[in-house]
Amino acid sequence: MSAPVKQKRLPNHALLHDDESIDDREKLTREGFYNLSPKELFWQARYHYLKEHGYLLRPRYDPAWKPSWVGTNRDPIFCEDSILLIDHQIMDATQLSDRELVAIKSFLTEGQELQIAQFFTTIRDPMNHCVPVREILLDPHDPNSALMVMPFLRPCNNPAFSTIGDVIEFVNQTLEGLVFMHKHGVAHRDVAVANIMMDAKPLYPNGHHPIRLGYTPDAMYPVSSLSRADRGVRYFYIDFGLSSQFPKGASSLVIGDVGRNARVPELSDDVPYDAFKVDIFALGDLYSKEFEQKYSNMEFLLPLIEPMTLQRPDDRPTAQQALQKWENRRADIQDSLYRWRLGPKSEPTLERVVNDTVAVAWEGVYRLKQFVK
């Protein structure tokens, strides 16, 4: 007769230690505080369909779900099945064949989003930084919608960039990706930090929770990331819902005051503008807002940002010209600068001096190790 499985001991912080707290939790549970929201019910209705196709949603979305903390002294905050979905259009799931985390997006089949995403998925090119589509499933309850299965990605700035080398690699990949899209006749039309994600598996070898990103997969413990340096983090453009694809030789003029970046000067619902030049401005503006305006020692980005964000679209470079300008500029950046920390411009002087001193010390350690090798 086999021995009974020993239950894993729960950490003290995940438990409630007095009757009043347990009573309050039970009252909230009875009153529906932890119930699925109406938009979460959308995914619960597709639970079995997705499982039949090889994708398992978290226990919360099983139609037979009962809260795991009921009848125990567990604190729901640290129960994975208490965590609500944030972006109701996208659901995380486990692919049963390899236990990998994936993202499933519900979208309307009208428009070019599906066509463009699938088109990019078919192209093998190291400069392709468009999120690949693993599978398209018909929506079992809505003939006008479908479910797009993609790798699970994390916001490009979570965790925060920490070294100048992180910034340089981000610029490398996002410029390459823009050149790739434009080369194939596609203007993204909504280039923004929210639409650039990263495959963060190299930073979290033991995983993280798909919603509560700063915690372990079971939502029990805080989790820290490894540094990005030399770990092959890859960035991807996502969300082609506003994108336009132009046949070879066709005009790239469009209309529409669309996209997250309201600073693009030429956007108009009436006057046609070049969709490709909007992407150029938006990406240059992203580099400015996310890096040059926030951190010290970002002067090396200015020769790239300034021409990309010129007011007159015709004066801006093409994506290929911007990449070439960047590659020329990058060649002049000293190797030691790559490992230098990102110092916020808002950092107090004394704190900056201390942090820079530590950074210099670590650079000395690095050089010593390289010398010993």
Give me the DSSP letters along 127-143: T--BPPP-EEEE-SS-T
Provide the 10 A C-beta neighbour count for residue 166: 21
Is beta strand 100-108 parallel, antiparallel or unpaired with respect to 90-95? antiparallel
Maximum separation of any 2 CA atoms in the chain, in Å: 79
Strand positions, DSSP E, the chain: 55-56, 90-95, 100-108, 135-138, 145-151, 154-155, 186-187, 196-199, 234-237, 244-245, 253-254, 273-274
Do the Cβ atoms of 151 and 132 come closer than 8 Å?
yes
The candidate with the shortest Cα–Cα distance to 346, out of 300, 295, 298, 301, is 295
CA atoms within 13 A on the CB side of 143: 0
Burial class (CB in 10 A: 0-12, 13-18, 19+), 164: buried
The whole-angstrom separation of Cα 229 and Cα 214 is 20
**Dihedral sign computed on CA atoms, order 209, 212, 213, 219:** negative
Along the 373 residues of the chain, how does pLDDT read in single tens digits? 344 434 468 899 999 999 999 999 999 999 999 999 999 999 999 999 999 999 999 999 999 999 999 999 999 999 999 999 999 999 999 999 999 999 999 999 988 899 999 999 999 999 999 999 999 999 999 999 999 999 999 999 999 999 999 999 999 999 999 999 999 999 999 999 999 999 999 999 999 999 999 999 999 999 999 999 999 999 999 999 999 999 999 999 999 999 999 999 999 999 999 999 999 999 999 999 999 999 999 999 999 999 999 999 999 999 999 999 999 999 999 988 999 999 999 766 545 544 554 454 444 444 445 445 5
Specify whether the CB–CB gap between 240 and 112 falls below 8 A.
Answer: yes
Task: Look up the pTM and report it.
Answer: 0.90
Between CA 168 and CA 177, with CA 173 as vertex, the angle to 5 degrees is 150
Other Cβ atoms less than 10 A from the Cβ of 107: the count is 20
